[in-house]
Amino acid sequence: MTAKKSSKPSNVVAQSRKKTRRGSVSGTAVWENVKGIAGAILLFFFIRAFFFEAYRIPSGSMIPSMLIGDWLFVNKLRFGPHVPFTSINLPGYAEPARYDITVFVSPPQHDQPWDLTPTLVKRLVGMPGDTLHMRDAKLFVNGIEQRQGYGATSEVGDPNEVSQLFDWQKDVGVKASRFGPAPAQPTHDNWGPLVVPAGHYFMMGDNRYNSKDSRYWSFVPRENIRGRPLFVYYSWDAESDRPLAFLTAIRWGRLGHWIR
């Protein structure tokens, strides 16, 4: 009689092969998920670095154009994106123009060492080569008085404010010009003439008496400019007393508002 062969060894091998296949499939699925997540993260940071970035308005320096609690999308491609962790700026499709609202890295603000070079949003009022001065709260560019326009609704402040942060103007103020000499002591509403250097810009907030701008920390280099705000995608009244104000105090009329 012929002995019956045991099937155990072949069953063990088969089971081992099945387990290997299952483990391989499982490992492949995990790896594909990891690659998908990593790719999505990289795409997000690529778009954020070179195309669009969200920005929150934390102060009232640009009222009424932008309100505290506005969340904006910023077009970084317009003026040329900045390559992260480098000093390289790629070319954009437009150059900054007078009265553009711009997002930029501030020149050093030595009075706030905890945030020396914050990212800010202001309005560009002085182009390279422009001569700017202010007399009795009226802004003049190349001798021409500018429309109050953006600054007309600014809160009333101290026109004779004197700050040591204005002292940088003493070294660059024009001593003799057809607009008269720069005052020995610049004040909030009386300063200049100042000539904007090549490759630099002069920025001011629309809310003139509640804006720390180029009057305080000087000109902004071209390479510091990061983009131009597009529109408000979310806005809520940060000063509201309502519970869960970020949901109950939404400014519905601001959503989709284009920045000009």
Report pLDDT digits (tens) over 130-183: 999 999 888 999 999 987 666 556 666 777 888 999 999 999 999 888 888 999
- In this predicted structure, what is the pLDDT of residue 153? 61
Q: Choose between 40 and 97: higher pLDDT.
A: 97
Q: Do 100 and 65 belong to one domain?
A: yes
How many structural domains is the chain composed of? 2
Q: Do 35 and 164 belong to one domain?
A: no
Q: Do 177 and 114 belong to one domain?
A: yes
Q: Do 109 and 187 belong to one domain?
A: yes
The mean pLDDT value for 57-66 works out to 90
In angstroms, rounded to a whole number, what is the distance separating the alpha carbons of residues 35 and 41?
A: 10
Whether 6 maps to a domain, the answer reads no
Q: Do 123 and 35 belong to one domain?
A: no
Q: Do 46 and 98 belong to one domain?
A: no
Strand partners, 144: 141
The mean pLDDT value for 76-96 works out to 89
- In this predicted structure, what is the pLDDT of residue 239? 87
- Given a cut of 80, whether residue 40 has pLDDT beyond it is no
- Given a cut of 80, whether residue 26 has pLDDT beyond it is no
- In this predicted structure, what is the pLDDT of residue 16? 55
Q: Do 106 and 20 belong to one domain?
A: no
In angstroms, rounded to a whole number, what is the distance separating the alpha carbons of residues 214 and 211?
A: 9
The mean pLDDT value for 61-76 works out to 92
- Given a cut of 70, whether residue 29 has pLDDT beyond it is yes
What share of the chain has pLDDT > 70, as a percent?
Answer: 83
Residue 175 is part of which domain span? 54-254
SS3 call for 255: coil
Q: Do 43 and 144 belong to one domain?
A: no
Q: Do 147 and 212 belong to one domain?
A: yes
Q: Do 38 and 116 belong to one domain?
A: no
What is the pLDDT confidence band of residue 190, given thresholds at 50, 70 and 90? very high
CATH number (domain holding residue 93): 2.10.109.10
Average pLDDT, the chain: 85
- In this predicted structure, what is the pLDDT of residue 21? 58
Q: Choose between 152 and 232: higher pLDDT.
A: 232
| Contacts of residue 230, Cβ cutoff 8 Å, sequence gap at least 6 | 52, 72, 73, 74, 75, 258, 259
Q: Do 157 and 28 belong to one domain?
A: no
36-45, 70-79, 229-238: the lowest-pLDDT one: 36-45
Whether 95 maps to a domain, the answer reads yes
Whether 1 maps to a domain, the answer reads no
What tens digit of pLDDT does each residue of 199-220 get?
A: 999 999 998 888 899 999 999 9
Contacts 24+ apart (CB under 8 A), 181-185: 182/133
Q: Do 37 and 124 belong to one domain?
A: no
- In this predicted structure, what is the pLDDT of residue 10? 55
Whether 259 maps to a domain, the answer reads no
